[in-house]
Structure 1
């Protein structure tokens, strides 16, 4: 499985590498990108930032790079992609986002990732109560009782 994680030059994206240890990871970001490739990940250029065509640009990058799953981190990407989930599904691409995202830019230490309600990674031990509809990258808030969808600031 090949996964594209956006915000690839950020510490947030780098934290996610260990969550997908059995996958081929592309860390994508806008603007200049390092030409580094390791056994764990590679960087991918997403071109210049253009908020008007984010979903189209990411769909093209996913198809060009044979990506199976997309995990967007920038808030504008999250909002644009949430409106295009059907299109990505038609191309066989899984986007780790809920249908109606409410992204948060809170600082976090621990996090978890869900795929259609299934916990695929957690940085801490957690109880699965009523998380059946979650999809995406979440941080723990309120003493680990509530979850918030993570996003990062859009590139300038």
Structure 2
């Protein structure tokens, strides 16, 4: 599986790589990015940032690069990508975010200073950096969520 993580120039994106040890991860960002590629990951540019066409830029990149799953980390990408998840799904690309109708409840309007993060796919926690075991009842919970202790309210892990 090929996974795209945006915000590839940020340390948070690098932290996420350990959640996907058996997948190829493309760390991408807007503007200039050092073009580095290895067997397990690559750094690449998404081109010039245009906030009015985020979903279009990312869909085009995902189709061109054969991406199976996208994790948008930039705060300004979250809402447009959640609203476009159905379109991405038609191309076989999973957008790892909560449903657009509930996204506002997961946004943190203060700078993220989480010590840990957890990755949820289809309601199941597939990775927790703090080694906690999460049992959630929301069947559709998707995304990367930050937390300090397991009892914290989960908020999207964004930059």
TM over 0.5: yes
Question: Which deviates the most, 76-85 or 99-108?
Answer: 99-108
CA offset at residue 144 of structure 1?
Answer: 2.0
Count of aligned pairs? 151
Matched, 1:109 2:115: yes
Aligned counterparts, 1:9-24, within 5 A: 9-24=9-24
Structure with the larger helix share? 2
* Superposition CA RMSD, Å: 1.3
Aligned counterparts, 1:74-153, within 5 A: 74-99=74-99, 100-102=102-104, 103-104=107-108, 105-124=111-130, 125-141=132-148, 143-145=149-151, 146-152=153-159
2:123 and 2:136 in contact (8 A); partners too: no
Deviations, residues 102-122 of structure 1 (Å, cap 9, x unaligned)? 322421111100011111111
Q: Which runs of 5+ in 1 are unaligned?
A: none
> Where does residue 30 of structure 2 map in the other structure?
30
SS of residue paired to 2:36? coil
SS of residue paired to 2:62? helix
CA offset at residue 131 of structure 1?
Answer: 4.4
CA offset at residue 75 of structure 1?
Answer: 1.0
1:17 and 1:40 in contact (8 A); partners too: no
Q: Tell me, in whole angstroms, the C-alpha distance in 2 between the residues paired with 1:54 and 1:127.
A: 32
Q: Tell me, in whole angstroms, the C-alpha distance in 2 between the residues paired with 1:44 and 1:37.
A: 8
Q: TM-score under structure 1 normalisation? A: 0.91
Q: TM-score under structure 2 normalisation? A: 0.89
